[in-house]
């Protein structure tokens, strides 16, 4: 069975700081990887996804993530965060042959101080 680990449960940054949120997964086969964001009181929205090809994926709002197969990682990055990035971020995995079956990590709560 697959699993996703997000080791940082809470992150606090000042505006303009750089962000990197860790995501590691466990699965023996081909994977599809996702980052979702959940703003306070709202539903989950897709930030970016990796299915195949270039391991550096660019998403909305200036976010990017890099798939490193050898490290089983898919870390999320943003060079300069804004107060409006305050949210909870979820990494998720789907097996390559079952792209709809998402397994989520525990989430990372990001607070950006103005």
Partner 1 sequence: DAGVIQSPRHEVTEMGQEVTLRCKPISGHDYLFWYRQTMMRGLELLIYFNNNVPIDDSGMPEDRFSAKMPNASFSTLKIQPSEPRDSAVYFCASSSQTLGNTIYFGEGSWLTVV
Residue ranges in contact with partner 1 by CB under 8 A:
32, 34, 36, 42-46, 49, 51, 90, 94, 99-107
Q: How far is the CB of 17 from partner 1 (least distance, A)?
A: 26
Q: Which is nearer to partner 1, 42 or 80 (CB)?
A: 42
Q: Supply the minimum distance, in Å, between the C-beta of residue 50 and partner 1.
A: 12
Q: What is the dihedral of CA 52, 53, 56, 62, to 10 degrees?
A: -80
Min separation Cβ 53 and partner 1, Å: 13
Structure tokens at 104: 């989520």
Write out the DSSP string of 7-48: --SEEEEETT--EEE--EEE-SS-EEEEEEEE-TTS-EEEEE
By beta-carbon proximity to partner 1, the closer residue of 86 and 103 is: 103
Q: Which is nearer to partner 1, 73 or 103 (CB)?
A: 103
DSSP-derived letter for residue 75 is E
Residue 15 half-sphere exposure toward CB, CA atoms < 13 A: 5
Minimum distance from residue 11 beta carbon to partner 1 (Å): 16
């Amino acid at each position: 069975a697959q699993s996703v680990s997000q080791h940082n449960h809470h992150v606090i940054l000042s505006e303009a700081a750089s962000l990197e949120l860790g995501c590691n997964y466990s699965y023996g086969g081909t994977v599809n990887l996702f980052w979702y964001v959940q703003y306070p009181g709202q539903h989950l929205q897709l930030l970016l996804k990796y299915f195949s090809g270039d391991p550096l994926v660019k998403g909305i709002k200036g976010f990017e993530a890099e798939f490193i197969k050898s490290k089983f990682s898919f870390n999320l990055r943003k060079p300069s965060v804004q107060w409006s990035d305050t949210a909870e971020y979820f990494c998720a995995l789907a097996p390559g042959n079952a792209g709809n079956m998402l397994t989520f990590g525990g989430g990372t709560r990001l607070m950006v101080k103005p």
